[in-house]
Amino acid sequence: MCATARPQLAKADIAFQCASVGQSALVPQVVDAVSVPVIAAGGIADGRGIAAAFALGASGVQMGTAFLGCPEAAVPEVHRSALHGAADEDTRLTRVFTGRPARALRNRLIDEMGDAETLEFPAQASLTRRLWQGKSDAALQAFLPLWAGQAVPLIRDLPAATFIDTLVAEARKRLPSS
């Protein structure tokens, strides 16, 4: 399990490796290892994912990318546009924006920085933040952190309340009756 990562690795390397473990492999391991409720996160964007997380033993789910399609989400229009039509392979786990591992849509900064060494958080963010303040859509597209997980193709443009109702209905349809 990722929690027992190799002691010879730096803390940042352990975090990066742990961030790359898929939730469907990680959730059952964590559920078996702890005696507290486990919240599944990563790749959950519809009722199928919620039901799967519960089947793996999770007590709840945390969803991020799925809500970026909601009109209430405060994302720049260039980010919202990039999300539409994006595929799971268009995302990359990177430290380039903040120094901490996070998944974002590939853009020029990610492609050009690649796996280059980054500063520790928050120093890396202070270094790249000026790039995020571009004046043109092209500059924003190239340098803004376009946060998105691998469930990005499942984004739906629904008001948040409607989306939550839809998620509950979808999950209930797939969960065994109690």
CB 110 within 8 A of CB 120: no
Task: Set out the domains of the chain in order of their start, with CATH numbers.
Answer: 9-174 (3.20.20.70)
Q: Are 105 and 86 in contact (CB under 8 A)?
A: yes
pLDDT of 109: 96
pTM, two decimals, is 0.84
Nearest to 140 by CA among 75, 71, 64: 75
Q: What is the pLDDT of residue 115?
A: 83
Angle formed by the axes of helices 160-174 and 47-55, nearest 10°: 50
**pLDDT value at position 51?**
98
For residue 154, give the nearest of 25, 52, 19 by alpha carbon: 52
Query: What are the per-10-residue average pLDDT scores of the chain (178 residues)?
Result: 56 59 91 97 96 98 97 96 95 95 96 92 93 90 96 97 98 90
Single-letter amino acid code for the residue at 24 = S
25: tokens are 């492999």
